[in-house]
Amino acid sequence: MIRSLRRSLATFAAERATASVTPAGAARWHRLACAVTPELVPSYRSLVALLRQRGDRWEAKDLAQEAVERFPEDPDAWMLLGEAWLAVYRHKEALTAFEQSLALTERPAAALEAGAIYLRSGRFVEAAERFSRAYAAGGGSEALRRNAEALYLAGDGAAAEAALKMWAHQVPDGESRLKELREKLERLDAQTHRRSRGEQASEDRR
C-alpha cells in the first residue's frame, strides 16, 4: 500500500516537473520524485541532466551515487553513475560503475562505455572483449567497428579484418568504405605507437 502511494506520488511529481516552465521548477519536482520513489525512476536521469546543464557536475555525481546506494541491483543506476563520473573526468570510477552495470545485465551501452575507457587507457585486449560483448548484446555495427579498432591496436590483424568485413555487411556502402576505415586504423595504430615510444623515452630520461 505504502509502496504504491510512493510510486503514485513520484509519478505525479515527475509529471509536474515535465510541465514546469523553468529548469529550477523542474528540478524541485524531480527532487521530490527521487525522494519518494520506491524504485529508480526517470527523474533521477532528468535531474542529473539539469544539474549538469547548470554546471553542477559534482552534485550530479552525488545524486547518481545516491541512486546506486538506494537501488544497487538496478543496472540503470550504475549506468547513470558511470556517466556522471565521466562528466567529472574520473575514468577509473566510471569504469567501475559501467562494469557493475554490465555484471548485472549484458547491455551494449555499458559494454561500449567500458570498452571506450579501456581503449583510451591503452588496454586494447580488454577493450576488444567489451566491444565484442556489446555486439553480442545488440550493439550493432558501432560495436563491430570499435571491436575491429581495438583488435587492430592489440596486434590481432586477422581478427580485426574479420570484424571489419562483418561491419561492412551491416552498414550502407560498407564495402566501398572498407579501404578508408583500414587506412584510418593504420594511422591510429601509428599514432598509438608514437605516443607509446614518447612515453617510454620520457620515462627513460627520469
What's the 3-state SS for the chain? CHHHHHHHHHHHHHHHHHHCCCHHHHHHHHHHHHHHCCCCCHHHHHHHHHHHHCCCHHHHHHHHHHHHHHCCCCHHHHHHHHHHHHHCCCHHHHHHHHHHHHHHCCCHHHHHHHHHHHHHCCCHHHHHHHHHHHHHCCCHHHHHHHHHHHHHHCCCHHHHHHHHHHHHCCCCCHHHHHHHHHHHHHHHHHHHHHHHHHHHHHHHHC
CB 98 within 8 A of CB 115: no
Average pLDDT, the chain: 91
Mean pLDDT of 66-88: 97
What's this model's pTM, rounded to 2 decimal places? 0.87
164-190 pLDDT, tens digit each: 999 999 988 888 888 888 888 888 877
Q: What is the pLDDT of residue 201?
A: 45
Give the range of the structural domain holding residue 92, as residue numbers without chain letter.
Answer: 18-105
Instruction: Using the 3D structure, point to which of 77, 105, 133 is the last residue of a domain.
Output: 105
Q: Are residues 25 and 94 in the same domain?
A: yes
Residue that has been written with the C-alpha cell 550493439 in this structure: 139
Q: What is the pLDDT of residue 1?
A: 76
Q: What is the pLDDT of residue 72?
A: 97
Domain of 71: which CATH number? 1.25.40.10
CB 168 within 8 A of CB 178: yes
Count: domains in the chain: 2
Q: What is the pLDDT of residue 195?
A: 62
Burial of 161 (0-12, 13-18, 19+ CB in 10 A): middle
Q: Per the domain annotation, does 114 fall within a domain?
A: no
Q: Per the domain annotation, does 70 fall within a domain?
A: yes
88-110 pLDDT, tens digit each: 999 999 999 999 999 999 999 99
16-60 pLDDT, tens digit each: 999 998 999 999 999 999 999 999 999 999 999 999 999 999 999
Q: What is the pLDDT of residue 194?
A: 60
Of the chain, the percentage scoring pLDDT greater than 70 comes to 93
Q: What is the pLDDT of residue 108?
A: 96
Q: What is the pLDDT of residue 180?
A: 86
